[in-house]
Amino acid sequence: MDTHAFKRSLHHSDRYNRRGFGRADEVAGSLEQAYQSSLIGSIRDNDYRLSHGRLKVRLAEAFGFCWGVERAVAMAYETRKHYPHERIWITNEIIHNPSVNDHLREMNVEFIAVDQGVKDFSGVDCGDVVILPAFGATVQEMQLLNERGCHIVDTTCPWVSKVWNTVEKHKKHTCTSIIHGKVKHEETLATSSFAGTYLVVLDLKEAQMVADYILGNGDREAFIAKFANACSQGFDPDRDLERLGVANQTTMLKSETEEIGRLFERTMLRKYGPADLNDHFLAFNTICDATQERQDAMFSLVDEPLDLMVVIGGYNSSNTTHLQEIAISRGIRSFHIDTPERIGADNSIEHKPLDQEEELRREDNFLPSGPVTVGITSGASTPDRVVEHVIQRLIALSES
């Protein structure tokens, strides 16, 4: 399939919209009421600090909704305004935040059902409206919806689209796309659908395995077994690792993506020499500005004296998880929660331990006695209103 040609054709269809409906003023009030916070605004104006009795709160200087998320949510609200009576679907969560997705359900936006990892589009009919979420949809899903005669509202973040364009360039130059991402994450699934030959690596450790193989220090059968579910069909490491380009899931840890890029550049330089490097390695910057800003702000925040850290965002939010990684790497007592209700009035907290599939862990005596400084950040899918409610619960605990 010529994915570039299909995308170009889709963009010219009168049943496709990626610019909104000019109804921003009509939905502005609803968005402000649901997601914005005067308290957070005042904390921003006070150098991102709040003091209340024994409690001090220190906010990261970049957190919460990014531009791409704001755009996607606003477009979803505009879609309901523009199609007040039509049946509206969304192919996945609009963003990885439970409160935002619940608001859409209250607006009678239906979510495509998923059974054992497979989406069921059987209920979607010709003429239905289908929203593509901020992290995109696979080209196969777009093709299905287009052929079914649906009205497609595409809220894909432009930074994600930039990555798609990058893997298209890899394909044009017959390069294998090394995608730094989580193989089952919706964005990585979408990106790989636009790629030609690809291999997904989760982290620097997996990238090093690939680099070692390129330099002749790996076992073919072990390699194929390791990456069996993380590569394009028919992937042959002896054939497909001769020409590489690097791309990434936009929410991955910036520093790791950069190091993976440098690793493969050094590897190809070592194998093919400087004269032929450009024939074997393509480099494009696909790191999202918003992700980078939030990670940089987190690194600055954890340099300050903190008694504990609260990271707010969906448990399936990759960018939120990486913020938590930064806190944990500094040895800070840190908790990842998805909603304010995880903090109990009895000074307990239910949180998601890092890199564990287990159920939520409950911890008592969450807020220590005496003066306490709490660092707070939130993922790019978390509204300010949610952060406000977390702070209010911290204030109530500090007073009890």
Q: d(Cα 177, Cα 193) in Å, to the nearest integer?
A: 11
Q: d(Cα 248, Cα 306) in Å, to the nearest integer?
A: 32
Q: d(Cα 130, Cα 271) in Å, to the nearest integer?
A: 47
R_g of the chain computed on alpha carbons = 22
Q: How far is CA 335 from CA 314, 323, 351, 368, in A?
A: 13, 11, 6, 14
Residue type, 246: V
Other beta carbons within 10 angstroms of residue 376's beta carbon come to 24
The residue from 78, 141, 187, 350 that is catalytic is 187
| 399 labelled catalytic | no
Residues in the chain, total:
400
Residue 60's closest CA among 365, 333, 320? 320
Burial 289-317 (b: 16+ CB within 10 A, else e): ebbbbbbbbbbebbeeebebbbbbbbebb
Long-range contacts of 226-233 (CB under 8 A, 24+ apart): 227/199, 227/200, 229/183, 230/183, 230/199, 230/200, 230/201, 231/198, 231/199, 231/200, 232/192, 232/195, 232/196, 232/197, 232/198, 232/199
DSSP class of residue 360?
A: P
**Do 131 and 79 contact (CB within 8 A), yes or no?**
yes
Q: d(Cα 367, Cα 354) in Å, to the nearest integer?
A: 20
Which residues are known catalytic residues? 187
